[in-house]
Amino acid sequence: MEVKIDTKEKFTVIIPQEPHIYDNMAAELAAVCIPYLEGKIKNIILNLQVVTSIDDDAARIITKLQHEFYEHHASFVICGIKDSLEEVFEKLELMDIINCTPTESEAWDIVQMEEIERELLDSNDVEFDIEK
């Protein structure tokens, strides 16, 4: 599967260059994404702007991939989903559990907000003054 990769300061944008994603291609996509969990820049934005159709199993694989990133305290935001793709995710009842935005710019915002949230939740210097 051919993909375009653009690395930014806090995330990497992956753009599949194929109009249809088959299940085996989604597995290849997962193989491209998983190593980022071990790297310095763990967050992924999957931009599906070029993709016009997707197999059911491929949609499931992408959803599981996104879930795996969140389990490892990393963001995985999908953007650029066309109506034809949204229909597949809706049919499989996955649309409500994936993190997606219409534009890449909005995906950037989500990644940055989630980074701030993780920093705040992981911070040990927060102390609360509790009166007894």
Angle between helices 56-71 and 83-91 (to 10 degrees): 80
pLDDT at residue 63 in the model: 97
Which residues make Cβ contacts (< 8 Å) with residue 125, sequence separation at least 6? none
- pLDDT given for residue 119 in this prediction: 87
pLDDT on residue 122: 78
Residue from 70, 6, 64 nearest 37 by CA: 70
Q: Which fold has domain 3-122?
A: Transcription Regulator spoIIAA (3.30.750)
Q: State which residues of the chain have pLDDT below 50.
A: 128, 132
Determine contact, residues 94/65, Cβ cutoff 8 Å. Answer: no
Q: Which residues contact 120 (CB under 8 A, 6 or more apart)?
A: 126
